[in-house]
Structure 1
């Protein structure tokens, strides 16, 4: 799902995958209060969280959040 979303969004958004067992992944998990694997976090250009969803959201839910975050 993430690969398809990444292809669909192209240059409009950056997709970052983190391993929760890595130091950076643990740091990001703590910052965004990730309690489940997977956790999807969408931020706007200022770093404000638009979506923080543990589990597996629908592709449409993720797409809507990313497009809302990218809106001026």
Structure 2
């Protein structure tokens, strides 16, 4: 190998390393967006779960009150 081949190889390696950084940044941005989407879905699910629990409690109290009257 002469100096020009070594220089070309080193340049290729340097370019590949810099491309890895760019690709990693793009991938992390995509993952961050997916995590944000999941967080939004989880927040909605938690809200619906709280509403379900409140309605179950109210239903139980109403049933208990009706049985107590009879």
TM-score, normalised with respect to structure 2 = 0.21
Structure having the higher Rg: 2
Higher strand share: 1
Higher helix share: 2
